[in-house]
Structure 1
């Protein structure tokens, strides 16, 4: 769309949107924006309701939720594979809701898409699978060859150009899918559960490739998943969906460090260290003997960017301090994690120990006592 047409389209923006953009000027810079978006199937099944999100240019944006939360419905409104029932989708401030077929074709060439199950043609080679969208678009052969060669090198499959999908591993198939999604030099890349069918090691290699593509090409990546580990490893910001509504959103470090909604907490549970069963069976609510140790749980939610000074912490607690379990990691420059400590022989009461620990951690809790 021309700049003039875009300006004309923006004149039709309702006053409510104008107020929002005045209060939140970053909305004017949003690459993709959902405004009060809703999607209903068969007139009764409400897949999405009241979605308001602004995705900034060049960021990796995550959408997470349990099965049936509305993730796929939401991401597919960006390239109009799904038509919203209400609300609007803006790309570069242009409402795509009334695009005709020609404008949709042009739009979809600006938006690449990677699928969970690769969607490769089994009777075509790696080269032919990547080249096909270019042939359909009528791109001359010399340009096609140059583009396919560059993309296969980018995804590390230049030596597999004659192979067929059946001869490839899952990770290699997904790399072909990524190369194919980039043939039209898109500005936006949609990832629909792109790593769900892969083993953990291959998942890491694909996420590393997506990070490299984001860095080198400056693409805006919108990724949906049900795995919090994927969000942690690649995304800048995240929204959590439940029953078609946003229940939580924010920078990844913030949602990981202090999840507010039960859905977020449930999705994060596999990544967090639960109290070991062996320790839980020995834990007592009161001090049953003089040599019983106070068990403290320290949580680091990311509001402090420095890692905890363990030497200073242990010195402040006094007595003998043992690390039972836990660890601290860095997400987007913020220190997050949990430590379980056992302290005995200290001159301080359990409550005093908790107060002293709170000087180093964002949350400190006395769990009980163990011998």
Structure 2
């Protein structure tokens, strides 16, 4: 037996042992095991991915987020072998795709649909012809092509646009054509590469609703990369955060949004969070300056307990006069998450006692200062 064969058998045995210890691995649709990717740059090698270990479950909507250059596109393109990892393995349905020949790659890529930020439509072909083209290339019969394209245009809401050219379509309609085209071979996995980045917020919402419907109706595993946290919040089940090619945080969306651990996650989430208004900041003092001064507390709810926040009980426990200065609560995956800024005046409790009482109701409590 060659040394290469022994290495493969050892890796297979280790993988089998890990699957026994962690049964969720057996159900993973896509697995990354120690995946790395190195490019040759002008000034030497550049590591785009480093030691990625990740499991994506069948039928979930999975988000990959990070700043520009974090390695998102490199990672997602290893799934359909548009990128070959420099190290590690990518498994689909527990099969290592690293050694696939051209015939196997063609079959693999037909099982994996992909939609792009800039649509990649052929301007000289109609909506119908753009969707039909991959079926023609695959040698599918005319009758089957007609059935399939009709079905998909109905699915994406473009049945009345079949004879229209891309130049006559809105951005959202062009993306719907791209989605229909990605589904022509009945894929099991749908990859979305910044699919909503070129769209306005209203159109983005409609495309996300369509992707959610497709996920539920067809049972697809949807994997999307984006730099927009709002997209992750609105559609994904789980999310990972990449930075400099490394996985720095992962978990259910409600958990990452409710209590981000890494500085990159906190930075990416910042646009969705409301800072203190300038008017309130100007009124804040570090210490009370009269008997009427109110202690201002910032409370963060992370949804960990799964309960609805009982604001009445919270305010009652603090005593005195409690005012809500700013804040709100939203629901993500059935969990209540939010931030509240409150002012407490004329309470019989001292500052430390107020913080301790508030901490019984909130995941994190911060003293922001005092106002009159």
For Structure 1 versus Structure 2, the TM-score category normalised by the shorter chain is over 0.9
Q: How does 1:1-371 map to 2 (within 5 A)?
A: 13-42=11-40, 44-371=45-372
**Structure 2 SS opposite 1:117:** coil
Cα shift at 1:249: 0.7
Asked if structure 2 preserves the Cα contact closer than 8 Å seen for 1:253 and 1:332, the reply is yes
The SS at the match of 1:55 is strand
Post-superposition shift, 1:343? 1.4
Please give the alpha-carbon distance, in whole angstroms, between the structure 2 residues aligned to 1:14 and 1:140.
Answer: 41
Q: Which ranges in structure 2 are unaligned for 5 or more consecutive residues? A: 1-7
Q: Distance between the aligned counterparts of 2:129 and 2:351, measured in 1? A: 68
Question: Comparing 22-31 with 155-164, which one deviates more in the overlay?
Answer: 22-31
CA contact 1:195–1:203 (8 Å) conserved in 2: yes
Deviation at 1:140, TM superposition (A): 0.6
> What is the count of residue pairs matched by the alignment?
362
Deviation per CA, 1:332-359: give whole Å up to 9, x if none.
Answer: 1111111000111222222222111122
The offset of 1:20, in angstroms, is 2.1
Residues 116 and 195 of structure 1 are in contact (CA less than 8 Å); yes or no, is this contact kept in structure 2? yes
Q: Per the alignment, in what secondary structure is the counterpart of residue 48 of structure 2? A: strand
Cross-structure match for 2:4: none
Counterpart Cα distance in 2 of 1:159 and 1:297: 52
SS in 2 for 1:44: strand
Report the RMSD for the aligned CA atoms in angstroms: 1.2
Q: 1: CA distance between counterparts of 2:308 and 2:276?
A: 22
Find the residue that maps to 2:286 and give its secondary structure: coil
The separation in 2 between residues aligned to 1:236 and 1:13, in whole angstroms, is 30
Would the aligned equivalents of 1:351 and 1:366 in 2 still touch at CA under 8 Å?
no
Counterparts of 1:223 and 1:52, CA distance in 2: 17
Structure 2 equivalent of residue 6 of structure 1: none
Report Cα offsets for 1:207-236 as digits up to 9, x if no partner. Answer: 000000000000000100011111111111
Name the CA shift for 1:216/1:11 in 2 (closer, same or farther; >3 Å): farther
1:125-146 deviations in Å (ceiling 9; x for gaps): 1011001101111111111111
List per-residue Cα deviations over 1:60-93 (Å, max 9, x = no partner): 1110000000000000000000011111000000
Give the whole-Å Cα distance in 2 for the aligned partners of 1:321 and 1:156.
50
Normalised to the residue count of structure 1, the TM-score between the two structures is 0.95
Checking the alignment, whether the CA contact within 8 Å between 1:48 and 1:74 is kept in structure 2 is: yes
**8 Å contact 1:249–1:255 — kept in the other structure?**
yes
Q: Give the TM-score normalised by structure 2.
A: 0.95
Give SS of 2:361's match: coil
Q: Distance in 2 between matches of 1:345 and 1:164?
A: 68
